[in-house]
Structure formats: structure tokens, C-alpha cells
Amino acid sequence: MSVVAPIKASLNRIAFVTGAGQGIGRAIATRLARDGYDQKVDEVVAEIKALGRDAISVQADVREPKQIEAAIAETVEKLGPRLYVSVANAGVTQVKPLLECTPEWIENEVRINLLGLMNTHIFAAKQMVKQGTGGRILGAGSIASYRTAENLGPYGGTKFAVRGFTEAAAKEWAQYDIRVNAYGPGIVDTPMWDHIDRELARIEGISVGEAKAQRVKKEIKLGRIQEPEDVAKLVSFLVSEEGEYITGQTIKTCGGASL
Ligand SMILES: NC(=O)c1ccc[n+]([C@@H]2O[C@H](COP(=O)([O-])OP(=O)(O)OC[C@H]3O[C@@H](n4cnc5c(N)ncnc54)[C@H](O)[C@@H]3O)[C@@H](O)[C@H]2O)c1
């Protein structure tokens, strides 16, 4: 279903990123490669290899725990038992008033955004504990982890829960030298926001592009849409030595959109 990106580093460490084929995940994967980690994803593989890092691509649907487990096993088998960074980035959203949300859609969103993240974190932590090396575990939160929005109800529910799970995992895994945090972007220029824009245009009776432009203008204090690389900068910091005293946090990176 989607691509995960294990990256091995000159640091002799591997990073594993779910949903790395596009958008924020792709920017995180390439940024971590530049930081020295080797990885795993087709087109992104070529980009990462051009940076002089090793990369492979694994297909895994994060709704299926066994596929996540197999992807991590394949990663350490091919790149070595040095998993140090895991990023549960894969996510989806529907854009609908709650009264129009079907049980099937809600379940799909919870399975990907929340259960997929929990299982990715747990399988990654098991590998890190086995290695005895410690590690950095990150997940996709959002400004919606703090403030939900109309027409994005189930999405906001999953992102609030990501914040709670991040705290719980940080408490349990500190003893293994594992930090657990989440990044909380605002309005990032990715295919996900193109989808949100199209759906809001339909709901609000405005033209495609307007919903995004209006929100960027009104909500983002720094005056420009967020690029995926802006999120990757925070991830890069959190997995670096500079981030070693930070755990259990869902950190907003949103140009002031949450203010
Ligand atoms: N774009 C934003 O403004 C924004 C803001 C806050 C948080 N986020 C979060 O950041 C993460 C990435 O968002 P994005 O904007 O890059 O989205 P995107 O739609 O561009 O990319 C999402 C990625 O997740 C993958 N994915 C979807 N379902 C999957 C599944 N079942 N198994 C494995 N992979 C799956 C897709 O293949 C894709 O590569 C998401 O968790 C999203 O909720 C995005």
C-alpha cells in the first residue's frame, strides 16, 4: 500500500519511515539520508542513493500489524540490526461533517493514523530493546492534536490520541534509552492538503485552491504555506544529539497556525 523507508547512516544507524513515498514522509526520508542515515523507497531510493546513503524500499500497509513487523524485520535483515530511528508518518484524512461519516471510513482512519502508529512504535521499540542501543521514535501528530476542526472530526480524534500514546510510550521506554515524540505540522503543501482543499471546496461551494489559500492567509502567522522540508527540520533535530533531552512531546511546527 505504501512505502516505508529504512535509512542506514554513516552514523552506522538505520531510520525507518512509513508513508515515505510522498509528502512529509518523503521529505523526512531524504532529510535523514542527508543527515547520514540509509533508507528504503523506490523513487526516493534513487534520490537517497544520490546523496551517498544506502536505501531500500519495502511495501507495507500499516493497517496490517504483520506487514509492519515484516517490514522492520526485512529492514534490519538487509541493512543490519542498527535501527535507531522509526517514524510512523503514514496517515489519511476524510473531510466530511460527522453526520456523513460512515463507520467504515472512521475505522479506516483509526486503523491507519492511530493503530498503524501504535503498532509501528511497538515493533520498532522491540527491535531497539533487542539491540540494546536505545533509539528515537517519532510519530505524525498535528496541530489537530491540540485543536480539532469542523469536517475533520475523526482525524482530530486520531491525532489527539497520538499525543496521548506518545506520552505513554515515552514513560515506558525511557528505561531503554528510547525517546518518543510526535511532530505537529499545520498546513503543509502535500497531496493530503490538495485532497482537503478539494473536499472543502465542495462543502463550502468555493473553487478548488480557495480553501487552502484562505486558511494559509488567515491562520499562518509566518505568511506562507508550510513545506514538507519544514517538518523534516524538526524531525532532524529530534533525532540528533541536540534532541536527546526531549521525550513524550507533541511539538507543533506550524508557522504560528495554532496560535
Ligand atoms: N499535510 C498536512 O498539512 C499535515 C498536517 C499535520 C499532520 N500531517 C500528518 O503528516 C503525515 C503525512 O501527511 P502528508 O501530508 O505527507 O500526507 P500524504 O497524503 O501526502 O502522504 C501520506 C502517506 O501515507 C501513506 N499511507 C496512507 N495509507 C497508508 C497505509 N494504509 N499504509 C501505509 N502507508 C499509508 C501514503 O501512501 C502516503 O505516502 C500524516 O500522518 C498526516 O496526518 C499532515
Ligand 1 atom with minimal separation from the 91 CA: 41
95, 203 contact by CB (below 8 A)? yes
Pocket test for ligand 1, best of 192, 229, 258 (most atoms within 8 A of CB): 192
Task: For residue 22, give the DSSP letter.
Answer: S
Those residues with Cβ within 8 angstroms of residue 137's Cβ, 6 or more apart along the chain or in another chain: 85, 86, 88, 121, 124, 125, 128, 169, 173, 178, 179, 180, 181
From the options 3.30.470.10, 3.40.50.150, 3.40.50.800, 3.40.50.720, give the CATH code of 2-186+227-253: 3.40.50.720
The per-residue pLDDT for range 211-254, each reduced to its tens digit, is 999 999 999 999 999 999 999 999 999 999 999 999 999 999 99
Active site residues: 155, 159
Burial 138-167 (b: 16+ CB within 10 A, else e): bbbbbbbbbebeebbbbbbbbbbbbbebbb
Using CB distances shorter than 6 Å, the residues near ligand 1 are 1-2, 18-19, 21-25, 61-63, 89-92, 112, 140, 142, 185, 187-188, 190-193
Ligand 1 atom with minimal separation from the 226 CA: 3
Task: For the chain, give every domain's residue range.
Answer: 2-186+227-253
Q: For the chain (length 259 residues), average pLDDT per consecutive 10?
A: 50 88 93 77 73 82 96 92 95 97 98 98 98 97 96 98 98 98 98 97 96 97 98 98 97 97
The per-residue pLDDT for range 19-36, each reduced to its tens digit, is 998 999 999 999 998 888
CA of 132 to the centre of ligand 1 (A): 30
Q: What is the DSSP string of 200-240?
A: HHHHHT--TTHHHHHHHHHH-TTSSPBPHHHHHHHHHHHHS
